[in-house]
Amino acid sequence: MNVPGTIAKDVMDMVLITQYFDTMKEIGASSKSSAVFIPHGPGAVREIAEQIRDGLLQASSAQQEATLL
C-alpha cells in the first residue's frame, strides 16, 4: 500500500542526492586535492539525504525568523 506523497519524497531524495554528488564532483575537480571522501554503505544515501533535508529546513527556518525580526 502506497502512502500519498511517498513517491514525491523519494524523488526529492534522489534529486538532493544527485545534486550532492554533482557538488562533490565539482569540488574534487576544482580543488588542489585529488581525493574526496564521502560516506558509503547501505545507509549512507539515506543519511546524506536526511542531512541535506535537515540543513535546508534549518536554513528555511532561519530565513523565516530573520524576516520576522
In a domain, 66, yes or no: yes
Encoded amino acid at 21, one letter: F
Q: Domain span at residue 47?
A: 43-69
Do the domain assignments include residue 15?
no
Looking at the structure of the chain, the number of domains it has is 1
Question: Using only C-alpha atoms, what is the Rg of the chain?
Answer: 16
Q: Domain for residue 7, yes or no? A: no
The residues, any chain, with a CB within 8 Å of residue 69's CB and separated by 6 or more, are none
* Cα-based torsion angle of the residue sequence 25, 28, 34, 35 in order, rounded to the nearest 10 degrees: -70
Task: Indicate yes or no: pTM above 0.75.
Answer: no
Of 61, 69, 54, residue with least CA distance to 16: 54
* Within-domain flag for 48: yes
Give the CA dihedral 64, 11, 13, 27, nearest 10 degrees.
-100
The one-digit pLDDT tens for each residue of the chain (69 residues) are 455 666 887 788 788 878 878 887 887 777 676 666 777 677 777 787 788 888 888 888 887 788 877
- Asked whether residue 59 is domain-assigned, the answer is yes
